[in-house]
Structure 1
Amino acid sequence: ELAPERVGVVVAPSHPAAQRLRHVPPSALLQETLLHTSSRPQAWPSWAQAHGLDASALKLGTAFEHLYYLLEAAVAGLGPAIAPEPLVAEDLAAGRLIAPWGFAATGGFWVLARPDGPADARVDALADWLVQQL
């Protein structure tokens, strides 16, 4: 295990709802059309449940095949998205995205898997570096 997975809602400051979302509870997101990925359909429902919201009330909009495309759409101001914290850290630091409610653990973990066999110091060094980065 490298680090716990933490996800959160991100939106571009240029999106019309961005400033309003900063000052209201997560339930305000039920009024927004949400960007999502087809590769992780449980992301929004899990987030909603963790925040005490009815997942069936979510309005899912455009689906993207890859998380990278989802994040580019969010940065472009097309709507709120849900993302793992490490993947948006630079966009948050640069002000291209905001995370109105921060990030919360999902119960999942970022892991490094390796085949059974003799220990390899290079893999251990990579794991140590990844832990520091995450």
Structure 2
Amino acid sequence: MDVHYQLAKNPQPNIFPYTMRKTHTTPPLPPLNALRAFEAAYRHSNITRAAAELGVTQGAVSKQIKLLEDFYGAALFKRSHQKMTPTAKAAALFSVVHSALENIRSVTRKIKGTASAREQLIISCLPSLSTQWLTPFITRFQKRYPSISIHVLAGDGAPDFDSGEYDLAIRSSTHPAWKKLHSQKLMSERLVLAGSPTLFKRTPLTKPGDIKVHTLLKHTTRPELWEWWLAKQKVEIAKPKYSIGFEHFFMLIEAAKRGMGVALLPEFLVAPSLADGTLTAPLSEKYISKSPYEYYLLTTPTKAKRPVVQSFRKWLATELQTQG
């Protein structure tokens, strides 16, 4: 008998009762690499810096962002030669993607539990402070907190926490007005007149007036320092002898060590050089002058909640208090 005739005469029960039931499909997710490229580009507002962070070419980052824009069918950045400006849709996406990637990194550190997954703390610091002052503190901090990895970036001017490049910033100011930031005063600035021992042996400097015969090393970022100090000491010089100008204090310190002239330097920066004898402060303590500048440790309210940031802020405050 024909099998088709039998099936038609005696219909069989449906042995796959659920195959015709409608299902709800999960929307596809964008590629992870595209999200990583977008997140880095958003933080830096710059393709070059994003590529450097990810260890890929600029073209690769641009390609991934274009892939993401095609996926969403919307532009995520307004591009110019110097900068990438995120759109409103990009801002909404970034808040979610950044949080998700941070959570993934955090869980990864906990699961791996290895030295390679140490907590990271990035500090933006004035160039001279990073080389002359901060380094010894970091050495001691890492002995106390070996699980925290510290990276120091040179930076001056107003801190840009929106870039996402660092957690803390050390800056100086005469009129601190750090709006919407957590600020912690580190110290005031006292200026010391210093030069090489050979220079002062050749041309003694025992009182402020003796400065008239010396060459003055000038800080180009703070050109008013000498005028301020001379006025404070009531010394008048018709035509001060200025040497080459230097942008940073650490440059002034090196020039002074080489006998190129006399420099006005923050006491806490020059202390190691005075201690090892490579520089001398010829005038007495009463001629050390407090300047209008103060130094601050800055962070955002959000970053201030991070345990690693809290640990460093508390530890540094204790260290400075101990040093007096």
TM-score, scaled relative to structure 2: 0.37
1:107 aligns with 2:107: no
Count residues in correspondence.
132
Q: Distance in 1 between matches of 2:253 and 2:282?
A: 16
Could you tell which deviates more after superposition, 91-100 or 120-129?
A: 120-129
In structure 2, the CA distance between the partners of 1:99 and 1:63, relative to structure 1 (3 Å rule), is same
From 36, 39, 50, the equivalent of 2:221 is 39
Q: Could you tell me whether the CA contact under 8 Å between 1:3 and 1:131 is conserved in 2?
A: no
Q: Could you tell me whether the CA contact under 8 Å between 2:189 and 2:291 is conserved in 1?
A: yes
Q: Distance in 2 between matches of 1:65 and 1:52?
A: 26
From 3, 14, 19, the equivalent of 2:198 is 14
Structure 1, unpaired ranges of 5+: none
Structure 2, unpaired ranges of 5+: 1-184
1:50 aligns with 2:232: yes
Give the AA of the match of 2:209: S
Q: Distance in 1 between matches of 2:201 and 2:274?
A: 17
1:82 aligns with 2:287: no
SS at match of 1:54: coil
In structure 2, the CA distance between the partners of 1:15 and 1:94, relative to structure 1 (3 Å rule), is same
1:87-134, Cα deviation, whole Å (9 max, x unpaired): 110110111111122422113222222223455522222333345457
Identical residues among aligned pairs (%)? 30
1:4-59, Cα deviation, whole Å (9 max, x unpaired): 210011010011566611x3x20110221111121111111111111112365432
SS at match of 1:125: helix
Q: Could you tell me whether the CA contact under 8 Å between 1:45 and 1:55 is conserved in 2?
A: no
Report what 1:121 is aligned to: 310
Q: Could you tell me whether the CA contact under 8 Å between 1:12 and 1:18 is conserved in 2?
A: no
Give the AA of the match of 1:65: E
In structure 2, the CA distance between the partners of 1:126 and 1:112, relative to structure 1 (3 Å rule), is same
In structure 2, the CA distance between the partners of 1:126 and 1:79, relative to structure 1 (3 Å rule), is same
In structure 2, the CA distance between the partners of 1:77 and 1:129, relative to structure 1 (3 Å rule), is same
TM-score, scaled relative to structure 1: 0.83
Give the AA of the match of 2:315: A
SS at match of 2:198: coil
Q: Distance in 1 between matches of 2:243 and 2:226?
A: 12
